[in-house]
Amino acid sequence: MPNEWSSGKLNRIVTSIYEAESIALTVASEEAIQLKKELINLIGCAPEVIDIQVFCDCQDVVASVFSTKDVCKSVRVRSDIGRMKQIISRKEITSLAWISSEQQLANAMTKSSASKIALVSTLMKGSFHQ
Predicted TM-score (pTM) of this structure: 0.81
Give the per-residue pLDDT at 21: 92
For 18-77, write each residue's pLDDT tens digit. 999 999 999 999 999 999 999 999 999 999 999 999 999 999 999 999 998 877 778 888
Measured between its terminal Cα atoms, the distance across the chain in Å is 17
103-108 CB contacts, 8 Å cutoff, 24+ apart: 103/55, 103/57, 103/130, 104/55, 104/57, 105/3, 105/5, 106/5, 106/7
The DSSP bridge pattern shows strands 53-56 and 95-98 to be parallel
Work out the percent of the chain whose per-residue pLDDT is above 90. 53
Report whether 22 contacts 60 (CB < 8 A): no
Report whether 19 contacts 76 (CB < 8 A): yes
